[in-house]
Structure 1
C-alpha cells in the first residue's frame, strides 16, 4: 500500500487514514487502529482490489468493508480502491455482535427480486409493459434491505399497479446470471392467485415505471417477454401445484 512504515494520517476532522507495509502483522495494524480511534472518530484504509493480503489485514484489524472508490488518483493515475473503516462507536470485534457485523461487511450479498404470478379465470398471466425496457415482465421489483421478499412483492404490486393482493406461496426461485451491467440475482415468484379478468380495470399505473398491464396467454408472453422471462413465467405456471422449484434463467 505504501513504501513507508505503517502510518496514520489525519485526512479530515475526526478522520484518520492508515497505511501499512505488505506483510505487516495484523496485530500491529490492529493496535494502530485502536490508538488512532482514541483521537479520531473514524479510521479508514484504501486497499488495492488486487491486494488480497491487504484486504485480509484490514478485515482482521477490525475494519469493515464499506465499498469501492472508483478512479482514485494514485501516483498520477486513476485506480480503484476498496474502502475499509472502523468507527469509535463500532461494537468491539471480540463481542459476538461486533464480529458478526465485521463478517457481514465483506461476505457476499445477493440481490433479490420479488415477482407475482397473477392469473385470470382463463389461465392467462398478468404482464406489465415497462417504461424502462421494451420487454414485458411479471409485476414486482427489488427487495429492500431487511425486507421480507413476500412483503416486498405485495408492496411493489400495490405501488406499481394500485392492487392490494396478498402474496401467496412461493412458486419458483430463479437464479439470474450477471447480465448487461447487472450483478447476478435471485428472482422469487410468488402466487398471486386467480382473479376475474376485470382486475385490470382496477389498475392504477405508476406512470414512471408502468406503461400498461394486461392478461396474456403463455404464447403471448413468449412474444412480449425476454426469452429468460418467458421461461420463468412458464416454469412458475407449471409449478402451481408442485411446491417451490428452482431454475436458472428460467431453465430447470
Structure 2
C-alpha cells in the first residue's frame, strides 16, 4: 500500500504545483499549500475528475476550483484534469468572504437565457431567424455573469434588433436539458407587450447574428421553430392569453 505523501514542485516563476498520494490528511495538504504560498504567488493542483476523494481534499485544503483542463498528458496518454488553485492574494479561509469564495468555486452553476414575447395586434409573435442556426427563435440571449435576466433581455433586444422595449412581467420559466454539446439551461420568457405590425420596419439588425425578424402566425411558429421552442412559445402565449402568472415547463412541456 502506498504511504500518504505530499509533493510541492515549482513549475514556473511564482507557480507551485501540489500533488498527494494515498489518503493524505487534509490538514497536511492545507499546511503545504500555506507554506508554498510564502514563496509563490499561486499554488495549483490537477485532480482526476473520477477521484472524488481527491476533489474533496483539494477543496477543503483551501484550493478553489477553476475549471477542467482537457487533454493533459499523464503517463503518455491524454486525460482530463480539474484545476484547483489558491493565490497568495486570496482572502483567508477563516474570513467569511474567503470561505464563501471557496464554496462559490465548486457549487453548480446554471446557464440562464432571457427571451421576450413580443406580439402584434393580430396575435402574431416576433421571431428572429438567426445566422448560426436554421430554426427561428424568440428575440433574446444569454444572461451575462452578475446580470439580471430582466436587464439582459432588454439589452439583447436593443443590441440585436435596435428596439427599446421595456421587459414586462415573467411569462414562463422553461428548463432545457443538456443537448447536442450544450449544458442544460433555464430560459426565462418576459412579456414584451403588444405593438403595431409596423414595429418590424424600425428594426436595425445586428447582421452578425440576425438574418431577419418577422411577426409570425402560430402556424409559422410551428413550421419555423424547433419543436421545443414552439412548445415554449405556445405555453407562454397560453399564460398571457389567460391572464395568469408565469408557469414552469421543461422543453416547453
TM-score, normalised relative to structure 1: 0.98
The alpha-carbon deviation at position 22 of structure 1 amounts to: 2.1
Matched, 1:146 2:146: yes
Deviant stretches of 4+, over 4 Å:
none
Alignment of 1:141-220 (within 5 A): 141-220=141-220
Report if aligned partners of 2:4, 2:23 keep a CA contact under 8 Å in 1: no
8 A Cα contact 2:111 2:184, kept in partner: yes
**Secondary structure of 1:89's aligned partner:** coil
Map 1:25-174 → 2, pairs under 5 A: 25-174=25-174
Q: For 1:121-155, what per-residue CA distance to the aligned partner results, in whole angstroms no more than 9, with x for missing partners?
A: 11110000111111000000000000000000000
Give 1:93 deviation, angstroms.
1.1
Counterpart Cα distance in 1 of 2:111 and 2:3: 39
- Please, what is the CA RMSD of the aligned residues? 1.1
Tell me if the contact between 1:118 and 1:193 (Cα under 8 Å) persists in the aligned partners. yes
**8 Å contact from structure 2 (residues 3, 22) kept in 1:** no
Structure 2: give runs of 5+ residues left out of the alignment.
none
Query: What are the superposed Cα offsets for residues 194-225 of structure 1, whole Å, 9 maximum, x if unpaired?
Result: 00000000000010110000001111100000
SS in 1 for 2:5: coil
Q: Would the aligned equivalents of 1:26 and 1:61 in 2 still touch at CA under 8 Å?
A: yes
1:189 deviates by 0.2
Matched residue count:
250
Q: Distance in 2 between matches of 1:230 and 1:145?
A: 27
Q: What's the counterpart of residue 243 of structure 1?
A: 245
Name structure 1 gaps, 5 residues minimum: none
Q: How many Å separate the matches in 1 of 2:81 and 2:101?
A: 21
Q: How far apart, in 2, do the equivalents of 1:107 and 1:230 lie?
A: 32
Residue 12 (structure 1) aligns with: 12
Q: Distance in 1 between matches of 2:20 and 2:85?
A: 14
1:223 aligns with 2:231: no
Alpha-carbon distance between aligned partners in 1 of 2:245 and 2:95, rounded to the nearest angstrom = 41
Shift of 1:4: 8.1
Q: CA deviation at 1:67?
A: 0.3
Q: 1:216 to 1:3 in 2, by over 3 A?
A: farther
Judge conservation of contact 2:6–2:20 (CA < 8 Å) in 1.
yes
